[in-house]
């Protein structure tokens, strides 16, 4: 009898089970977003104005920061995806037993800023690679080593994100690789296709939705993350989240609208990018689902 009531009251069950998670999410995201947008259009006296956006669009520093932010986000994502894909392809057999999967989890265990410290430890001018090249006789002094960390292009940040996100990409792609029927690959080979053909026609259609999902998550995350740029960035040009954070805590509250709009604009940009990618894949996804049903 107990169990029966559980299966009968379907609609009520859906609501009671989903409501807590949905309410918390909507409260945090819905209210937080609304409040952030409202505060970006208000002065501290509470008047409604576009002033903060006008000021941002008129400033060169803002566009430099925007460019840097998305350059770092997109380059790190692309590199992490490529390296992660190659590693998954070569290692999915190896990672099949769960004990070796622990290896992938280890880099995920540490926070991003510790990964930033690792990059600093290895790639700064007085870092370990610099020491190595000095010992090998390739450098005369430490200043001969190229500046890779805390410079304008964001190489240090990109290195950190790539290092940190490759294991994430692998963990996202591994389940797909176990799902793929690899006999199709053999079909391609018997029909005279090479390795690339096999990848293109068998694996890639399966991977595409996950690849798009992963890249959307990564770009959105990196474009709005504060921890790494705060550690490894430079002040000119500054990554947008750091700029926003500093405006947010700038003495009086007069710069707060700027802080909000400086975070909203990259957020909107990332969202548009995400929608574009997902829209492009949707068609493909539908075709996959139909194909599977046949």
Partner 1 sequence: MRFVFTRLGKRELVTSLMVVIFIAFFILPFVVVTLKSFSVGWRFPELLPQAYSLNGWQSIFRDPSLRESIVTTLMVGLYVVLLNLLLSLPAAKILSICSFKGKSIIEIALLSPILIPGMLLAMGLQFTMIRFGLADQILGVVLVHLIPTLPYAIRIMRAGYERLGTSLGEQASVLGAGPYLRFFTISLPLLLPSIRSLMLLTFVISLGQYALTAIIGGGNVMTLSLLYYPYFSSSNEAVIAGFSILFALLPLLFIGGVEIVLRLVIRAVNRV
5-64 residues in contact with partner 1 (CB under 8 A) are 6-7, 10-11, 13-14, 16-18, 20-22, 24-26, 28-29, 31-37, 39
**Nearest distance from C-beta of residue 288 to partner 1, angstroms:** 17
**Nearest distance from C-beta of residue 212 to partner 1, angstroms:** 13
Structure tokens at 137: 């006789």
**Nearest distance from C-beta of residue 104 to partner 1, angstroms:** 8
Select 51 or 60, whichever has its Cβ closest to partner 1. Answer: 51
Select 7 or 48, whichever has its Cβ closest to partner 1. Answer: 7
**Nearest distance from C-beta of residue 201 to partner 1, angstroms:** 21
Give which of 263, 287, 286, 230 is closest to 66, Cα–Cα.
Answer: 263
**Nearest distance from C-beta of residue 56 to partner 1, angstroms:** 15
Select 75 or 223, whichever has its Cβ closest to partner 1. Answer: 223
Using rule CB under 8 A, residue 108 touches partner 1: yes
Select 46 or 60, whichever has its Cβ closest to partner 1. Answer: 46
Beta bridge partners of 42: 48
- Which 221-240 residues touch partner 1, going by CB under 8 A? 221, 223-227, 230-231
- Which 253-292 residues touch partner 1, going by CB under 8 A? 259-260, 263-264, 266-267, 270-271, 274
- Which 123-182 residues touch partner 1, going by CB under 8 A? 126-128, 130-132, 134-135, 142, 163, 166-167, 175
Residues found in the chain: 294
Structure tokens at 153: 């292009």
> CB of 215 within 8 A of CB of 161?
no
Select 6 or 60, whichever has its Cβ closest to partner 1. Answer: 6
CB contact set of 203 (below 8 Å; sequence gap of 6+): 89, 177, 180, 185
Residue position matching structure tokens 């909107």: 268
> CB of 166 within 8 A of CB of 146?
no
Conformation bin of residue 232: beta by default, left when phi > 0, alpha when psi is -120 to 50 = alpha
- Which 60-99 residues touch partner 1, going by CB under 8 A? 87, 90-91, 93-94
* Torsional sign, CA 189, 193, 196, 200: negative
Select 60 or 107, whichever has its Cβ closest to partner 1. Answer: 107
**Nearest distance from C-beta of residue 19 to partner 1, angstroms:** 9
**Nearest distance from C-beta of residue 25 to partner 1, angstroms:** 6
* Helix%, strand%, coil% for the chain, nearest 5: 80, 0, 20
- Cα separation, 168 vs 77, whole angstroms: 11
- Cα separation, 43 vs 30, whole angstroms: 22
Stretch that binds partner 1, among 48-56, 58-66, 108-116, 285-293 (CB under 8 A): 108-116
Beta bridge partners of 48: 42
**How many residues sit close enough to partner 1 to count as binding (CB under 8 A)?**
86
**Residue 73: alpha-carbon gap to chain centroid:** 7
**Nearest distance from C-beta of residue 167 to partner 1, angstroms:** 7
Give which of 243, 205, 235 is closest to 62, Cα–Cα.
Answer: 243
CA atoms within 13 A on the CB side of 270: 24
74, 114, 147, 180: which one contacts partner 1 (CB under 8 A)? 114
């Amino acid at each position: 009898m107990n169990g029966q009531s559980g299966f009968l009251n379907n609609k009520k069950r859906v609501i009671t089970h989903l409501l807590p998670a949905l309410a918390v999410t909507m409260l945090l995201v819905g209210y937080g977003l609304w409040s952030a947008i409202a505060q970006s259009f208000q002065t501290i006296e509470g008047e409604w104005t576009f002033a903060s956006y006008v000021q941002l669009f008129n400033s060169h520093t803002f566009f430099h920061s925007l460019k840097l932010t998305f350059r770092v986000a997109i380059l790190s994502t692309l590199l992490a995806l490529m390296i992660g894909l190659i590693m998954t392809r070569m290692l999915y057999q190896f990672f099949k037993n769960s004990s070796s999967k622990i290896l992938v989890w280890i880099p995920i265990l540490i926070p991003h800023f510790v990964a930033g410290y690792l990059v600093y430890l290895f790639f700064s001018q007085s870092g370990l690679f610099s020491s190595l090249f000095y010992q090998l006789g390739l450098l005369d002094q430490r200043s001969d080593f190229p500046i890779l960390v805390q410079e304008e292009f964001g190489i240090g940040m990109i290195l950190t994100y790539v290092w940190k996100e490759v294991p994430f990409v692998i963990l996202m792609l591994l389940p797909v690789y176990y799902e793929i029927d690899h006999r199709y690959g053999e079909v391609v080979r018997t029909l005279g296709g090479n390795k690339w053909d096999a990848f293109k026609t068998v694996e890639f259609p399966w991977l595409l939705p996950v690849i798009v999902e992963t890249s959307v998550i990564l770009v959105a995350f990196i474009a709005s993350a504060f921890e790494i740029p705060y550690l490894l960035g430079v002040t000119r040009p500054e990554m947008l989240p750091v700029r926003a954070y500093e405006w947010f805590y700038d003495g009086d509250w007069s710069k707060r609208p700027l802080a909000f709009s400086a975070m909203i604009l990259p957020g909107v940009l990332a969202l548009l990018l995400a929608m574009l990618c997902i829209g492009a894949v949707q068609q493909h996804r539908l075709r996959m689902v139909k194909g599977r049903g046949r």
